[in-house]
Amino acid sequence: MEEWDKLYPGWLKLALKIAYNIDDYRFRLGAVLVKGGSVIAKGRNRQSKHYNFEMFRGLHAEIAALRWVSPNVSRNSYLYVGRLRMDNTIGLALPCSNCMNMITRKRIKKIIYTTDTGGYKVLSL
Ligand SMILES: [Zn+2]
């Protein structure tokens, strides 16, 4: 176990803080990419007002965090994803299949995401 494994909840708190600051209450997700105990990228969910189907889905927090990061940099990193519901309780932040594809391409080692019960789960890739 790496030294920064102990920091799971701390990095998740940062992801939730990013989510908390999103104005659009429908979809509040924050993502933080961590490697060697340092944040290398952050992202937040952005909904689009356009009606084109792809655009309507908006930009997911995970892709916002990862899109400009080289796989050589993100290799063996940890991705923390936190979701807040409209009432500020914690929600499920399991990445969708689209985001999972990018997460796999970026060679991320683990995903730590919040769950419906207010806790978190760790997914090793
Ligand atoms: Zn997604």
pLDDT of 4 = 41
Which of these, 8, 88, 81, 86, lies nearest to 42 by C-alpha position?
A: 81
Quick: pLDDT tens for 58-72. Answer: 789 999 999 999 999
Contact 76, 68 (CB under 8 A): no
Which tokens sit at 29?
């997700």
| Spatial separation of the C-alpha atoms in residues 19 and 29, rounded to whole Å | 5
The shares of helix, strand and coil residues in the chain, as percent rounded to the nearest 5, are: 35, 30, 40
- For residue 4, report the distance from its CA to the centre of ligand 1, in Å: 25
Residues 6+ positions from 23 with CB-CB distance below 8 Å: none
Question: Ligand 1: distance of its center to the CA of 94 in Å?
Answer: 8
Distance 96 CA to ligand 1 centre (A): 4
Whole-number pLDDT of residue 55: 46
What pLDDT is stored for residue 74 in this prediction?
Answer: 97
pLDDT in the model for residue 64 = 94
User: Which residues of the chain are under the pLDDT cut of 70?
Assistant: 1-9, 48-57
- pLDDT, position 103: 98
Q: What's the alpha-carbon Rg for the chain, to the nearest Å? A: 14
pLDDT at 8 (0 to 100)? 61
